[in-house]
Structure 1
């Protein structure tokens, strides 16, 4: 939880935290962001890299 609160708003997880916190409150925003961060860690451990952090190539679009 501490890592979520230290993230800047320029990151994807930090932006989610701030968006949810504006609507539902700071603690709920932190929990939502922590869930996303745990999801990224799960896929990184399972696959060896985090595909969600990669931008799609122009050829795929």
Structure 2
């Protein structure tokens, strides 16, 4: 599962995740930034499945 989430993060080009990865990469390095972004994405997926809505998208629309 870790591989699939990391691949999703590498292919994802949304400004929020790209900016987050760049910020962490400048401070900690590329590999750590990939894993950190993957964990954030997996957390959003978990909450989306649990609650039935994606919170990050709801805030942007409001």
TM-score class normalised by the smaller sequence: 0.7 to 0.9
- Taking the aligned partners of 2:22 and 2:57, their CA distance within structure 1 comes to 19
1:1-61 correspondence to structure 2 within 5 Å: 1-8=6-13, 10-55=14-59, 57=62
TM-score (norm 2): 0.75
How high is the TM-score relative to the length of structure 1? 0.76
CA RMSD, aligned part only?
1.6
Tell me how many residue pairs correspond in the alignment: 56
The 1-side partners of 2:22 and 2:52 are apart by 28
Larger radius of gyration: 1
Segments of 5+ residues of structure 1 without an aligned counterpart are none
Give the structure with the higher percent helix: 2
